[in-house]
């Protein structure tokens, strides 16, 4: 299937540590928390960056665990309609209810964004009551969740004869029993679906004798059901008139939490029996220490161990200062994470939800690996790794130590070691100073080994003396960097994998150009090499995400023999391109002669249906189709004239633009419905 999206990303520069922090700061537009209860702090600033899932092909799975769809109906009562929001979740996953009580995980929230002429007039009611239970981290709070899926229904007010699309803002958390959660925050359309035929039409609620309760455009149920209450699927007892919201109220809803006191409904309250705060700080300290041994950070930790070896014979004050620089890098990243957690309700590792951050870290890791394979040298004392620069940069510098601290901490954030899950869960409902103190203890725990070694270098006297073994060890660390690149590469969607791969090849070529000029060369030569290397790597990255992901010109339909027969029965002229991703000539035909503006003009004028038959994977049925067309290979382009489905025009091998246009003109336009009826 051809790519249908266009995404423009620039390839990051190769200043690895600094660039990684920039990617985090600039790439992470604040969004709703990815973890239960809205993240570390209360409040939050909503964003629009997450990719939605939508009701697409296939069902939900572990990568996309939810699919959402919305529709609305009119009723016999003028101005009254019914809105339905449906979610289907993957096996073993669940979604929290719209009535989840405060103090627990993030409840599902459905907000009508537009148009202003439509308003939600009642609370949302599910088609099945949620499953009630408890979770250890939310002591004393009833947890309400829907397994497999749910349909929420609410009454709406809308103008008479209104049939346009509605826009709904969905904020939800999809989780599974092992604690993994995926946030869903997306604006989805609600299509008009005709007259409502349900059993609970809202006619009774418009009785003027029934008192009305005000609601706004957000359907938020005030009273969550408990285990003792009868859960009703009936409509709300009243439909409200729209109540205007003051400017002050609207502003307060859209202001990020700066540590001020927030709405008690959204503020997670501490519960009885919760872990004491001093004990929680101890767990944070131990959890930070354990981060040094997580797989995510092993490559950088290995390099730090090499720097300890290189510090042999150094002045003790300098050794301590170098370790302080490394610790400073760790603390800077934890300070940034704490800021985002308090102000924007960011969760641990949430920055990796953003494509720009994942791409920046992947490129940085790959550039590090190339450096330790001696392809190029990072121009930072203590981080350069080539044999030619060992004399010039054999001693670790403060900048190199600081950068390693930053990069080590960034790589630690995808990991959540022992104790950290409980620590982060317990931060729900904490004040801003408490959250900051937790992060400070995490930073101290991760920094503690280096502070101890800085104060007493004899702790690493077991390490061997510097020698040729360091070159072998360094290249071993490079393989660990490559393994980390593979881990991040796996996280990219299928449509992004090829552009990312080409971007990495561009980075490789750029690093190779930089590596051709040794570190002791004149500054002019080094600047020229860097300019050329970074420029070429950037150009290749831009090209990868523009050319390789450019949307198709024609409106392609996936080939299917039944679809083809149906189009032919409707009197359509159909063009089928039999192709494969491994077929170079097929791709050339597509780019130069088939999927072009000139072809599109003829296709639009003649109302031609264009179908794409992908033979990348083995398909015996398609092989039979080739034989039917008198061919045994691709490229193969078949054009079926309207009214003559048994007389296709076949073009084989490489084709030109003029050949395709002539064949389309010869096939002629599609027939209209009247012509088809007369022919029958």
In the chain the domains, ranked by start, together with CATH numbers, are 46-253 (2.60.40.1250), 277-486 (no CATH), 556-679 (3.40.30.10)
Question: Helices marked H in 516-610 — which ranges?
Answer: 523-546, 561-569, 584-589, 597-606
Tell me which of 23-32, 70-79, 156-165 is least confident.
Answer: 23-32
Residue scoring higher pLDDT (228 or 529): 529
Question: Can you read off the two tokens belonging to residue 629?
Answer: 């067309």
Residues 121-169 have pLDDT tens digits of 999 999 989 998 887 667 778 889 998 889 999 999 998 888 889 999 9
Closest C-alpha to 484, from 392, 364, 583: 364
Quick check: 71 pLDDT over 70? yes
Question: Can you read off the two tokens belonging to residue 660?
Answer: 């395709």
Residues 365-424 have pLDDT tens digits of 898 888 888 888 766 444 444 444 344 334 457 787 787 788 777 777 766 656 676 677
pTM above 0.75, yes or no: no
Residues 451-464 have pLDDT tens digits of 888 888 777 676 66
Question: Can you read off the two tokens belonging to residue 568?
Answer: 């032919």
Tell me which of 24-33, 342-351, 437-446, 542-551 is least confident.
Answer: 24-33
pLDDT of residue 273: 41
The percent helix, strand, coil of the chain (3-state, each to 5) is 40, 15, 40
Residues 6+ apart with CB under 8 A from 507: 11, 14, 363, 366, 367, 370, 537, 541
CB 295 within 8 A of CB 423: no
Which position has the token pair 């090849």? 505
Helix axis angle, 398-412 relative to 355-372, nearest 10°? 130
Residues 245-258 have pLDDT tens digits of 334 333 333 333 33
Upper half-sphere CA count for residue 628 (Cβ side, 13 Å) = 12
- How much of the chain, in percent, has pLDDT values that exceed 90? 24
Residues 581-616 have pLDDT tens digits of 888 899 899 989 999 999 999 999 999 999 999 988
Question: Can you read off the two tokens belonging to residue 204?
Answer: 């009774």
Phi and psi angles of residue 183, each rounded to the nearest 5 degrees, phi first: -80, 150
Residue scoring higher pLDDT (48 or 115): 115
Q: Give the residues across from 428 on adjacent strands.
A: none
What is the mean pLDDT of the segment spanning 96-120? 89
Say how far apart CA 52 and CA 679 lie, in whole Å: 46
Apex 170 CA angle, 167 and 172, nearest 5: 175
Mean pLDDT of the chain, nearest integer: 74
């Amino acid at each position: 299937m051809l790519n249908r999206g266009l995404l423009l990303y620039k390839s990051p520069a190769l200043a690895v540590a600094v660039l990684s922090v920039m990617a985090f700061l600039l790439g992470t537009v604040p969004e709703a928390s990815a973890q239960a209860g809205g993240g570390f702090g209360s409040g939050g600033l909503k964003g629009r960056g997450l990719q939605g899932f939508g009701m697409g092909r296939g069902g939900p799975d572990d990568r996309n665990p939810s699919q959402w769809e919305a529709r609305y109906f009119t009723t016999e009562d003028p101005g009254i309609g019914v809105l339905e929001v449906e979610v289907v979740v993957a096996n073993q996953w669940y979604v929290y209810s719209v009535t989840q009580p405060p103090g627990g995980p993030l409840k599902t929230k459905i907000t009508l964004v537009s148009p202003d002429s439509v308003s939600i007039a009642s609370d949302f009611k599910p088609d099945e009551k949620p499953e009630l239970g408890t979770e250890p981290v939310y002591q004393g709070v009833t947890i309400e969740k829907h397994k497999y899926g749910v349909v929420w229904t609410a009454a709406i007010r809308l103008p008479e004869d209104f049939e346009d699309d509605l826009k709904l803002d969905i904020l939800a958390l999809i989780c599974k029993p092992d604690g993994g959660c995926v946030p869903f925050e997306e604006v989805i359309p609600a299509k008009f679906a005709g007259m409502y035929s349900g059993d609970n039409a809202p006619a009774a609620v418009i009785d003027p004798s029934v008192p009305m309760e005000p609601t706004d455009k957000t359907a938020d149920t005030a009273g969550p059901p408990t285990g003792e209450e009868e859960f009703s699927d009936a409509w709300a007892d009243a439909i409200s008139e729209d109540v205007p919201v003051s400017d002050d109220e609207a502003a307060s809803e859209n202001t990020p939490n700066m540590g001020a006191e927030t709405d008690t409904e959204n503020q997670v309250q501490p519960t009885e029996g919760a872990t004491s705060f001093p004990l929680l700080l101890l767990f944070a300290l131990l959890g930070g220490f354990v981060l040094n041994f997580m797989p995510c950070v092993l490559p950088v930790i290995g390099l730090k161990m090499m720097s300890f070896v290189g510090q042999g014979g150094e002045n003790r004050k300098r050794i301590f200062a170098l370790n302080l620089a490394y610790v400073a890098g760790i603390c800077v990243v934890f300070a940034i994470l704490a800021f985002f957690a308090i102000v924007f309700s960011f969760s641990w590792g949430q920055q990796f939800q953003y494509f720009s951050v994942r791409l920046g870290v992947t490129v940085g890791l790959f550039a590090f690996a190339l450096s330790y394979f001696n392809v190029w040298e990072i121009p930072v004392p203590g981080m350069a790794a080539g044999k030619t620069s060992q004399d010039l940069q054999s001693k670790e510098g403060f900048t190199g130590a600081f950068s390693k601290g930053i990069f080590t901490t960034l790589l630690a954030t995808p990991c959540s070691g022992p104790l950290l899950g409980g620590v982060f869960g317990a931060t729900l409902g904490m004040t801003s100073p408490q959250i900051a103190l937790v992060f400070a203890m995490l930073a101290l725990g991760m920094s503690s080994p280096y502070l101890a070694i800085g104060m007493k270098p004899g702790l690493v006297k077991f390490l061997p003396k510097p020698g040729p073994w360091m070159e072998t060890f360094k290249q071993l660390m490079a393989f660990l960097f490559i393994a980390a690149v593979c881990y991040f590469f796996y996280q990219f969607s299928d449509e992004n994998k090829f552009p990312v791969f080409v971007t990495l090849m561009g980075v490789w070529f750029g690093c190779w150009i930089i590596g051709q000029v040794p570190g002791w060369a004149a500054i002019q030569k080094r600047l020229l090499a860097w300019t050329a290397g970074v420029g070429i790597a950037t150009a290749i990255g831009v090209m990868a995400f523009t050319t390789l992901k450019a949307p198709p010109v024609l409106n392609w339909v996936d080939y299917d023999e039944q679809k083809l027969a149906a189009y032919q029965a409707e009197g359509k002229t159909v063009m089928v391109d039999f192709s494969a991703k491994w077929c170079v000539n097929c791709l050339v035909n597509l780019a130069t002669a088939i999927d072009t503006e000139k072809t599109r003009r003829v296709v639009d004028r003649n109302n031609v249906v264009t179908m794409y038959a992908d033979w990348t994977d083995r398909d015996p049925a398609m092989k039979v189709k080739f034989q039917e067309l008198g061919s045994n290979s691709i490229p193969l382009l078949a054009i079926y004239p309207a009214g003559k489905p048994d007389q296709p025009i076949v073009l084989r091998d490489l084709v030109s633009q003029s050949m395709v246009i002539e064949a389309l003109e010869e096939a002629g336009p599609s027939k209209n419905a009247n012509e088809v009826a007369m022919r029958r």
